[in-house]
Amino acid sequence: MDLFWAAPPVSRTLTALTLVQSALMHGGLMSMYYAVFAPSLIFAFPPHLYRLVTPFLLTGKKLEFAFDLYFIYKYGSAVENSMAAGEFFIYLLFVAFNLMITAAMIMAFIYTYSQHNRGQKTHFMFIDIPVVALPYAMLLITMVVRGWHAALTEAMGIPAAHLYNFLTYLYPVYGGGRNFITVPAFVERYFKRPEDRNRSYGWANKPSRSSTGAPASAPESASAESSSGSSWGWASSSNWKGRGAGRRLGG
């Protein structure tokens, strides 16, 4: 339980709700009917508003049940910890608006995690790979185990996560545009953490910025800290919050 409560609030709540709903549905105690995204029912009278949430809270069966929960907890926590207070909640809503499939949501988490940790290595299966290759390595495994259709479905999480990256970081920093996806003040206050600092836009860890708004050069120690990951779990990295020396346009 200590490990559960140590996780950030949105990720641990999402993991717990997914565990409960998936266990009930796969155990036959709750009908899968309630996890179907059906716009005609959402806008019916009375409206089935719960269908805006329940499709996200259903994992795969058997072994996939354990892996899906693990990935939601691990990569969701890693991304949430790297963002400012309340930003992960907005990120979750943004990705959810684009996706109505749990597997693709997990892939969005993994893609964002890989972008936050550019320049590092991660342990995948039995080898060390660049962390930016992690989403594509997992898609390859999905393709081999479950086929092209499942891999393509999961892959939809990558453009959704990258669109959030583009709108909140790449376009404001490199294009000089405005970040329209901001965290409302009441959400920020609700999720406020003692270590959070104010920022105008962009990915977390609050890097110092020059007067033009572009990220300042990362200290040399940042690259020195990047190393091959530990072997915790199926795929892991030595530092969830670490990042490489900088970001590239289109990265």
Length of the chain: 251
pLDDT one-digit tens code per residue, 22-72 = 999 999 999 998 888 777 787 778 888 888 888 888 888 888 899 899 999
pLDDT one-digit tens code per residue, 202-239 = 444 444 333 333 344 443 333 333 333 333 334 444 44
Nearest to 174 by CA among 204, 205, 135, 203: 203
Q: What is the pTM of this model?
A: 0.59
Rounded CA-CA distance 236/110 in Å is 11
Sequence-ordered list of residues with C-beta below 8 angstroms from that of 24, at least 6 positions apart, any chain: 30
